[in-house]
Amino acid sequence: MKFKLTFWKVVFILIMLNGLYSMYVRYFHGIGAVSNLSDRFPWGIWIGFDCLCGVMLAAGAFVVTGVVYLLDIERLHPVARPAVLTAFLGYVLFIVGLLVDLGRPWFIWHQLIYMNPHSVMFEVGMCVMTYTTVLACEFSAAAFERFNLVTPLRIVRKAMIPLVILGILLSTLHQSSLGSLYLIFPEKMHPFWYTPAQPFFFFISAVAVGLAMTIFESTLSSRAFGRCLELPIIVELGGALYVTLWVYALLRFEDYFHRGQLAAIFHPSYESYFLWAELLMALVIPLTLLSFKRIRLSANGLYLACCICLLGFVTNRLNVGITSMEGSTGVHYIPKWTEASITAMIIALGFFIFAMAVKYLPIFEDAHHALPVAAPEMETAKAAEPELTLVH
Amino acid sequence: MSKAILYDATLCIDCKQCEGACAKQNELPYDDKIAAEEVQSEHKFTVVLANNDNKYMRRLCMHCEEPACASACPVGALHKTKDGPVVYDVYKCIGCRYCMVACAFGQPKYEWGKLNPAVRKCIMCPDRVADGRQTACAEICPVGATKFGDRDALVAEAQDRLRQNPDNYYPHIYGLKEVGGTSVLILSSVPVESFGLPTPEKLGETPMPDYTFRILSRIPDFVPLWALVLGGVYWISHRREEVAMAEAMEHGSQQGGTK
C-alpha cells in the first residue's frame, strides 16, 4: 500500500503532533501549565466542549436505534450503524477528554466504589460508563460480521432490543443530567442559561442534534467515500429535525417568557450577543431553511441546515458551560492554545477512527440488511461483501 | 451539638494571626510574602481583607449546613461531620473540580501546579473540634473577633450584639439563613458583598443541593416508567413478529420473523 501525503493528512499529522506535545505538558507539568483554568474558573473548554458537546453530538445512536428498532421503521435501518459508531466513538473520546480534564484520572474507577447518589456527576458518570458498554455491544455486531463470528453475532442480535431500550434509558438520564449539573449554582449562572428546565432542554436538544448529526455524517461520508447517499432517509430525518426544533424553540420561548427574560434578550450585552449567536444558528436559520420544502428535499439544503444547527447547539453548550459563568466569576476565559490543541486532537482522532472503521468494517449497508434473527448463511455472505466493496 | 465560628468584623484588627495559625495547623508555609497575598489559594485557606475604609473581612470556608460541594462530589470525598466541619478525603478524590464550580463562596482551591493535585480548603480543624478544642484561628485571635462555640449559642450572641450596638453593625447575620444556614456566621458594619461575598438575595435560603436533588430524586420513579413506555412501544410495533416467533419456537422449527 502506498502512502500519499494529502492536504488533510498533513493537517491531521500537525494536529496530532501539537496535541501530543500538549498531552506531555498536561501529564508532566500539570493542568495549571497546560490550561487557562484557575480557582475562579475551574471548568473550561474540556468540560464545555469535550464533555458537553461530545456527549450531545453522540446522541444520534439512541435516537436512530429507537426509531429503527422500537418504532420498527425498517427503512431507516441503513443509518443506524453509522450512528452507533459515531456515538461509540463520541463516548470513548469523551472518556479520553475526561482523562485529560480530571486532576487524578488514575482514580477514575473510584466512581464504582465511592458512590454518592446525591451527585449529578455520579449519575452522569455511571450512565456514561454503562452506556459506552451498551454501545460497544451494539457496535460489536459490525466487528463480528467482519470476522465472520456467527455465534457471538447471533447473541448480539438477540440482545439488540433490550440493549436499545437500555441505551435510550441511559441516554435520557445522562443527556438531561448534563443540564442538571448546572442547577446547583444558581448564583453563578447568567439568567439566560439558568433555568430549572435545563435538563429538559438538554434532552430535547440532544434529540435534535442526534438527528442533525445523523444527516451530517451520512452526507459527509457519502462525499468522502463516494458512497451513494440515502436521500429518502435523510429527508425523513430532516422532517423529524424540523419538528423537534420547533418543539425546542417553543419551550425556550416559554421559559424566557415565564422567567421574564424576553426584554433582556434584546438588550445588548456580552451575554446577549452569545445568546443571539446560539439562537440564530440553532433555531432561527435552520427553522427558516427547513420551512422551504425545496430545501427539506435537497441533500445540499439539508446538509447546510444541519451544519448550522450543529454549530448552534455547540454554541449553546459552550454558553452554558463557559459564557454563563464569566460574568459572576469576573473571569474572561479563553482557552490556552495547548488546552485547545488537546481538544483539536480529540476531534481529529474522532474523524480518523471513523474513517478507518468505515474502511475496514461493514458500517454502511448497501442494498440489503439482515433482520435481527437472520440465518447464518446470510451473515457469511454479508461478511464477505465489504471486502469487495470497501477495500481498494 | 453542632459547632460554628462567629466572625465579628467590627472587632477585627487585621493582625492576620489567624492566617498564620491556620497555615501552621495545616502544615502550610507562611511568611511575609504569603501574608501579603490578598487571595485565598491552595496554600492559604483563610485571608483577612481590608478596604480603603479600614474595614476588615475574613474569608474562609463557610461550612454550609447542607454543603453544595459535598452534594456535588461524585465520589463523596467531601462531607459534613456531625460536629459541623465540612471535611475532605483526599484519597477518594478524582479531581473533577465539580465542588469548586458548585461552591457559592468559591472556597475549594486547587493545586494546579501538582501532578497529583488535591482540592484544598479550610476544614475547620476537625481533629481539634472532635477533641472539644477550638479551631486554631479562634484560639489565637487576640481580640475575640473569631469566636468558636456551639452554633445555637453563637447565633444568640450575634443577635445580642446586633441588639445592643445597632449602630455598629449592618443589621444582618450572614450565614444564619443563607443557603439553608452555614457554620460560619459573619457580623460586619458593611454589607459583606463589598468584600466579594455573594449577596443574601442572590444566595437565597434554599440549600443548594435541593436544586439538583429535586431532579435526581425523581429518577427512581422515572426509570421504570420510561422503560415501560419504551417496552410498550416495542411490543406494539412488534406484536405480530413476536407471535410468529413464539409459534415458531413451539414447533421447534427454524422459521425467522416476517419481513
- Chain B hits for A378, CB-CB cut-off 8 Å, are none
Q: Which of B41, B77, B226 sits opposite A39 (nearest CB)?
A: B41
Evaluate whether residue A7 is within a structural domain. no
Q: How far apart are CA B219 and CA B216, in angstroms?
A: 6
Burial of B51 (0-12, 13-18, 19+ CB in 10 A): exposed
Residue A16 within any structural domain of the chain = no
State the residue range of the domain holding A221.
25-389
Mean pLDDT by 10 residues, chain A (392 residues): 78 94 94 93 93 93 92 86 91 93 94 93 94 93 86 89 94 94 93 94 96 92 80 92 96 94 91 95 96 92 96 96 91 93 94 87 60 38 38 34
Name the CATH code of domain B3-208 (choices 3.30.420.240, 3.30.70.20, 3.30.70.100, 3.30.310.160).
Answer: 3.30.70.20
* Contact call for B98 and A121, based on CB within 8 A: yes
For B:28-57, CB contacts with A below 8 A are 40-42
Residue of B nearest to A325 (CA): B101
**B219 touching A, CB under 8 A?**
yes
Closest CA to A184 of A121, A125, A128: A121
Residue B143 backbone phi and psi in degrees, to 5? -120, 5
Query: Which helix (H) or strand (E) covers residue A97, if one does?
Result: helix A80-101
Our CA-based measurement puts residue B66 at a distance from the nearest CA of chain A, in whole angstroms, of: 12
Going from the C-alpha of A1 to that of each of A7, A391, B92, the distances in angstroms are: 19, 11, 50
Q: Are A71 and B237 in contact (CB under 8 A)?
A: yes
**Please, are residues A347 and A86 in contact by the beta-carbon 8 Å criterion?**
no
Select from B25, B45, B47 the least CA-distant residue to B36. Answer: B47
Choose the closest CB to A120 out of B204, B216, B227: B216
Number of domains in chain A: 1
pLDDT score recorded for residue A1: 55
Asked whether residue A6 is assigned to any structural domain, the reply reads no
Burial group, residue B83, by CB count within 10 angstroms (0-12, 13-18, 19+): middle
Does the residue A317 lie in any domain?
yes
Q: What's the whole-model pTM score?
A: 0.89
Angle at Cα B257 formed by Cα B254 and Cα B259, nearest 5°?
135
Taking the C-alpha atoms of residue B164 and residue B91, their distance in angstroms, rounded to an integer, is 47
CB contact under 8 A, A103 and B257: no
Task: Check if the beta carbon of residue B49 is closer than 8 Å to that of residue B195.
Answer: yes
- Whether B243 and B255 have beta carbons less than 8 Å apart is answered as no
B259 with A371: Cβ contact below 8 A: yes
Stretch 234-253 of chain B: residues touching chain A, C-beta under 8 Å: 234, 237-238, 245
- Structural domain contains residue A8: no
Contact B66, B185 (CB under 8 A): no
Q: Over the stretch B138-173, which tens digit does the pLDDT of each residue have?
A: 999 999 999 999 999 999 999 999 999 999 999 999
At residue A2, the pLDDT reads: 64
Q: Between helices A160-180 and A150-158, what is the axis angle to 10°?
A: 60
Size of interface A-B (CB pairs under 8 A): 173
Alpha carbons A61 and B180: distance in angstroms, whole number: 42
- How is chain B split into domains, by residue range? 3-208, 218-250
DSSP string across A154-179:
HHHHHTHHHHHHHHHHHHHHHHHHHH
Predicted local distance difference test score (pLDDT) of residue A365: 66
Query: Which segments in chain B show pLDDT lower than 50?
Result: 255-259
C-alpha span between A223 and A364 (Å, rounded)? 13
End-to-end CA separation in angstroms for chain B: 70
CB–CB of B94 and A111 under 8 A?
Answer: yes
Q: Which residues of B touch A180 (CB under 8 A)?
A: 212, 215-216
Of B94, B208, B257, the CB nearest to A110: B94
The answer to whether the CB of A102 falls within 8 A of the CB of B96 is yes
Tell whether A1 is covered by a domain.
no
| Maximal C-alpha separation, chain A | 66
Sequence-separated (6 or more) residues with CB below 8 Å from residue A265? A192, A256, A272, A275, A276
Radius of gyration of chain A (CA): 21
| Gap between the Cα atoms of B215 and A196, Å rounded | 9
Neighbouring residues of B180: CB distance < 8 A, sequence distance ≥ 6: B64, B65, B66, B205, B206, B207, B208, B210
Which residue among A165, A184, A187 places its CB closest to the CB of B72?
A184
ipTM for the assembly: 0.87
Planar angle of CA B259, A362, A239, nearest 5 degrees: 60
